[in-house]
């Protein structure tokens, strides 16, 4: 049975989740959503099972994922699923995806899952480190095994009732969507920048140009924070809420710069 998983990741949690599920299912193709972002028209996968794996942003899904899901025609697919990775709260993101899928496929998603993984938004909470991070990852691995088992057996799984997540989404997701692409205004780069260009290479939206050896952000930001977390000298800061100065950085231990570059499929 062939499975296709479309994924989006900023710091590797969702790619690790997609790989874990693919490994358990076998015969699974992983396709980066970022590689299809600039292609026109509907996307009609040729597979028996199709899933979306992505992070939660402001209790919803990244803008690029929502836009992609609207183009995805799952009407002819036997079994559909979504998995969101999140730091603490975001089941409403599954309801959002379910609503989008339902526009083309009666009944929407067959199964929807959320999995807790290390947080990657330092302005709100410092990313976990050391043993604490290992514990979260090992719990996630167990949960992903259960998720893969449910998908493998074609089980229907509802996202579940999520009133608090729904409320937070109602309050924050609209402003997030409105401002995300313009996040260029809230990033800065310090003199610690060596001009290595890693930030531009890892950006899934291709939103960073190197100008005179310094990153310049455009108007397609997804706020995934890959640039922030991958910068080898921590020269990049994000100026929202408590900011990011001295507040730690995170990326999934299995994620390489090449994985991020591959997302754009260039």
Q: Scan residues 167-196 and list those touching ligand FMN (CB under 6 A).
A: none
5 near ligand FMN, rule: CB under 6 A: no
Contact window for ligand FMN (CB under 6 A) among 142-150, 194-202, 204-212, 223-231:
223-231
260 lines the binding site for ligand FMN (CB under 6 A):
no
> How many alpha carbons fall within 13 Å on the CB side of residue 227?
32
- 10 counts as binding ligand FMN under rule CB under 6 A: yes
C-beta closer to ligand FMN: residue 66 or 77: 66
Residue 57 backbone class (left: φ over 0; alpha: ψ -120 to 50; beta: rest): beta
Extract long-range pairs of 100-108: CB within 8 Å, 24+ residues apart: 100/66, 100/69, 100/70, 101/69, 101/72, 101/74, 103/70, 104/72, 104/73, 104/74, 104/75, 105/73, 105/74, 105/75, 105/77, 105/80, 106/75, 108/80
- Regarding 117 and contact with ligand FMN (CB under 6 A), the answer is yes
Under rule CB under 6 A, residue 119 binds ligand FMN: yes
Among 21, 58, 159, 249, binds ligand FMN (CB under 6 A): 58
Report phi then psi at 75, rounded to 5.
-60, -30
How many Å apart are CA 236 and CA 223, to the nearest integer? 13
CB of 209 to ligand FMN, least distance (A): 21
Kindly report the CA angle at 123 between 119 and 129, in degrees rounded to 5? 40
Residue 208 or 224: the one with the smaller Cβ distance to ligand FMN is 224
Nearest distance, CB of residue 224 and ligand FMN, angstroms: 6
Q: Is residue 225 a contact residue for ligand FMN (CB under 6 A)?
A: yes
Binding mask 70-109 for ligand FMN (x = CB under 6 A): ---------------xxxxxx-------------------
Phi, psi of 210 (to 5 degrees): -90, 120
Please report, as ranges, the residues that interact with ligand FMN according to CB under 6 A.
Answer: 9-14, 55-59, 85-90, 117-121, 223-225, 252
């Amino acid at each position: 049975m062939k499975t296709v998983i479309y994924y989006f990741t900023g710091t590797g949690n969702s790619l690790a989740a997609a790989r874990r599920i693919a490994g358990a299912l076998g015969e699974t193709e992983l396709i980066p959503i970022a590689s299809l972002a600039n292609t026109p028209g509907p996307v009609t996968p040729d597979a028996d099972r199709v899933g979306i794996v992505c992070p939660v942003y402001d209790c919803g899904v990244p803008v690029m994922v929502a836009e992609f899901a609207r183009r995805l025609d799952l009407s002819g697919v036997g079994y559909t699923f979504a998995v969101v990775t999140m730091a603490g709260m975001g089941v409403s993101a599954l309801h959002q995806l379910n609503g989008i899928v339902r526009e083309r496929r009666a009944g929407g998603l067959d199964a929807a899952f959320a999995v807790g993984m290390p947080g990657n938004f330092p302005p709100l909470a410092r990313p976990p480190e050391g043993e604490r991070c290992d514990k979260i990852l090992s719990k996630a691995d167990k949960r992903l095994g259960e998720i893969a088992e449910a998908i493998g057996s074609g089980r229907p799984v509802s996202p579940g009732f999520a009133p608090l997540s729904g409320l937070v989404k109602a309050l924050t997701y609209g402003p997030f969507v409105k401002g995300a692409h313009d996040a260029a205004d809230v990033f800065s780069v310090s003199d610690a920048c060596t001009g290595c260009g890693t930030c531009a290479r890892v950006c899934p939206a291709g939103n960073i140009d190197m100008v005179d050896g310094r990153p310049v952000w455009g108007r397609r930001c997804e706020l995934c924070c890959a640039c922030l977390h991958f910068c080898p000298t921590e020269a990049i800061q994000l100026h929202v809420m408590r900011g990011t100065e001295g507040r730690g950085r995170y990326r999934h231990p299995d994620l390489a710069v090449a994985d991020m570059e591959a997302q754009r499929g260039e």
